[in-house]
Amino acid sequence: MTSDTPPVGATHGTRGDGGPQLTPPPVGEPAFDSHHPPSAELASDCVHCGFCLPSCPTYLLWGEEMDSPRGRIYLMQSGLEGEPLSDSMVQHFDACLGCMACVTSCPSGVQYDKLIEATRAQVERRHRRAASDRLLRAMIFALFPYPRRLRLLRPLLRVYQRSGLQRSVQRTGVLQRFAPSLAAMEALAPPIRGEERLPSFVPAQGERRAVVAMLIGCVQGAFFPGVNAATARVLSAEGCDVVIPPGQCCCGALSVHNGREAEAVRFAKSTVDAFEAAGVSYVVVNAAGCGSAMKEYAELLADDPAYASRAAAFAAMVRDVSEILVELGPVAPRHRLPIVAAYHDACHLAHAQGVRSQPRQLLAGIPGLDVREIADPEICCGSAGIYNVLNPEPARELGDRKAAAVLATGADVLVTANPGCLMQVAASVERLAGSVALAHTVEVLDASIRGVHLSTASHKGG
């Protein structure tokens, strides 16, 4: 159903694989070159008021000005004024989770999202990382954006998890001591269950109200097939013909959020090609990070005359699954689901897409469901794409804070809209020896519409 062939093509100043340049700029050169540097105009919108600081997770952890949005904007401005890209500057940029909590808390409307995205692309092209960091990133980007490669891991992981080997490895703490990033990946891997393969078309039940195409996603498709199956069932029950375009590949979210611009451009073009052919009115996404990247294709492909207007038209069709369901309004009857749920705002849904009310509205429409809010909802859980693998320590601390706040609600189930958040919070709940099931919003809706028990995406701690 999905394609693992890396899209071809090259873009300004990068290697063919989208990774950093082989030769960094000469020592003492200004931090940024002329290919899409962070905008001086956008940076100058910051009035240094500091209102964003309390919502910034890295400022919360370390209390360092240069690890706050304001400090990072100051570093970008120094780079624009000719300062070279120092290791310490890169460290502060790398430590940013890209959670965009600063964007929604800024009263001056500073577009930090655009600033950090442009900065990251410059860093990837112009800064030579340590060999171990390059190797880790190469490994991640040779695996995560390729669903078929991820699926090959499923049987291996299943054996690892069921044979008792996982428990032994975790008990020794050897991975944690010698390879913290690998230990983070190992702890994050969700329990592998049976695969639910989707057909290429799921017809609307009752009167047809919309024709939509659905993104399968890489991690979602490989590790949370139940979420995709629930999404298709709910859309169909609410009157949507659901098309699952063949040949869809990674949407490029991980690449664009990590400065791999050329790679992101190639994935975005392939995604536009695959979904245009489906001839639908909406493109439905159930992973927050993917949705936010796809809604920004117009900016990503703006330089390409063959794709610019097509990308803008495509981006206008993209909806998070909760958005389209609220836009359409409910028609399928709901059954009682007498459980307590806590709803967690995924950063790329709430801060990046402004989608907060729709999932809550959908959950509020389920009879018997008691929905509770989590303390400090604007603070990221530490997942942030691959942040928790690249920066395992701060991610772990943020995950444990979020898990403690979730457990304090007394909920039976944590509901959220992103596979990364599900894995991150599940790992922390287990570490805290807590117990809560985890589910995607559509899984809860699906259970209510079908009148069955909630079958959750991941419940390590439950």
Q: How far is the CB of 105 from ligand SF4 (least distance, A)?
A: 6
List interacting residues with ligand SF4 (CB under 6 A): 46-52, 55-58, 69-70, 72, 96-102, 106, 108, 110, 112
Q: Where are the beta strands (DSSP E) in 49-204?
A: 201-202
Tell me the three state secondary structure of residue 218.
coil
Task: Look at the block and give the residue holding tokens 């390590």.
Answer: 460
* CA angle at 199 for the pair 198 and 201, rounded to the nearest 5°: 120
Closer to ligand SF4 by Cβ: residue 95 or 157: 95
Q: How far is the CB of 27 from ligand SF4 (least distance, A)?
A: 28
CA distance 462 to 460: 6
Name the DSSP letter for residue 55.
Answer: G
Closer to ligand SF4 by Cβ: residue 57 or 419: 57
Closer to ligand SF4 by Cβ: residue 283 or 390: 390
Closer to ligand SF4 by Cβ: residue 60 or 219: 60
Q: Beta strand 318-320 with 282-285: parallel, antiparallel or unpaired?
A: parallel
Work out the number of other CB atoms within 10 angstroms of the CB of residue 182.
15
Closer to ligand SF4 by Cβ: residue 75 or 439: 75
Q: How far is the CB of 374 from ligand SF4 (least distance, A)?
A: 18
Q: Beta strand 201-202 with 370-373: parallel, antiparallel or unpaired?
A: unpaired
CA distance 401 to 176: 20
Contacts of 25 (CB under 8 A, 6+ apart): 33, 85, 126
Q: How far is the CB of 241 from ligand SF4 (least distance, A)?
A: 38
Tell me the three state secondary structure of residue 456.
coil
Closer to ligand SF4 by Cβ: residue 120 or 137: 120
Q: How far is the CB of 377 from ligand SF4 (least distance, A)?
A: 14
Q: How far is the CB of 174 from ligand SF4 (least distance, A)?
A: 31
Query: In the chain, what is the straight-line distance between the N-terminal and C-terminal CA atoms, in Å?
Result: 32
Closer to ligand SF4 by Cβ: residue 93 or 146: 93
Q: How far is the CB of 19 from ligand SF4 (least distance, A)?
A: 23
